[in-house]
Amino acid sequence: MEITRPSRQRQADLEVTARFIIFCTIAALSVAGPAQAEDCKLQSVASLDATRTPDGLLAVPVSMGSERVNMLLDTGAERGVIDISVTQKMGLTPLKISAPPPIFNVRGAPFLSMVQFSQPDFYLADGTQLDHFVKIPVVTLGASNVEAAKFLLARFDEKDTPGIRGILGNNLLRNFDVEIDPAAGKVNLFSPDHCEGKVVYWAPAYADLPIHVGASGQVAFTMTLDGHDVETILDTGAAHTTLNLRLAQQLFGIDVKSPSVERVSGENGVPIYRTRFQMLTAGGLAIKNPYIYLAPDQIAQRQMAKAMDDGFSGSAVSGAARLILGMDALSHLHFYIAYKERKLYLTGSAPLPDAATK
């Protein structure tokens, strides 16, 4: 069977068409490639210079209108906190946090079989309840302006927190990706819209951990302490890595009267201890022989007492057994919190210590 070949002119036209199609395909790929790469590139929102407080915490500058406020960077705080003196200077009116309406069952009797602690319950780490807030007209973080941002009101003691007039909490932080490099004194904020896993630009190797971001914005993940998995909260607002005392006693058999357990504080009748463990690990990172503080959860205790005073029955708080990973450990890391991606990326910025010395 004879196959009719196209004429020379027709063949030339086909060759030109084919070359044109190939050229267009290559051009499209060359355009799509950089575009896709551009989409994966981190989009910087702010680069903040961080200073260290006497107890090793990080403080960053935050603009509030014409005021520039030095604030603690606190990934463990649900909401930002501002000193009353700043709001008075700005002429802002304090607002009372209103409690939610009670839950009733039949005949108007309070529903006592369940306790719910909702939004109005805000506490500092020492258990102090905060019950007033203000709306800051504009809060500026680099290229980002947040309008009508709510901050809780508190009084900051100059002796305890010199130069600090606020706390930058999760109600703002969780809107971004947050990179923290304590050794370099840098806190960078990025848009959360990027390709998954394409965030660690400063090192060829890293550890990445799945995280849970709760309603409070706290970053929770699992670490292994002496062979036991423990729920861990990443808390840049905590100077020391601290284990719930009840968990330490129940899970590790810690006896506070043991010679290996040191009492380091007892302010306001609340004893705080510390002891040495063998190994704290997560991903490919390990801290050998860490000193870990042991303390009761004062917030949980305050909530329980308040619930009982209000006549509620049942379990007022779920078990608060957890490890707080504080700045004594975090200062040796360079880490990136991808809130939207639900990942924590970690590298060592300095040799991890064999043991804490402070």
Task: Tell me what pLDDT residue 96 has.
Answer: 82
More confident residue, 116 or 279: 279
Mean pLDDT of 58-73: 94
On average, the pLDDT of the chain sits at 77
Mean pLDDT of 284-297: 89
Looking at the predicted structure, is the pLDDT value of residue 209 above 60?
yes
pTM listed for this prediction: 0.76
Mean pLDDT of 295-324: 51
Task: Tell me what pLDDT residue 65 has.
Answer: 87
Looking at the predicted structure, is the pLDDT value of residue 9 above 70?
no
Kindly state the helix (H) or strand (E) to which residue 309 belongs, with its residue range: helix 298-309
In terms of C-beta density within 10 A (0-12 exposed, 13-18 middle, 19 or more buried), how is residue 24 classed?
A: exposed
pLDDT band at 233 (very low <50, low <70, confident <90, very high): very high
CA angle (178 as vertex; 176, 184 as ends), nearest 5: 150
**107 φ/ψ angles, rounded to the nearest 5 degrees:** 60, 20
Of the candidates 321, 333, 330, the one whose C-alpha atom is nearest the C-alpha of residue 294 is: 321
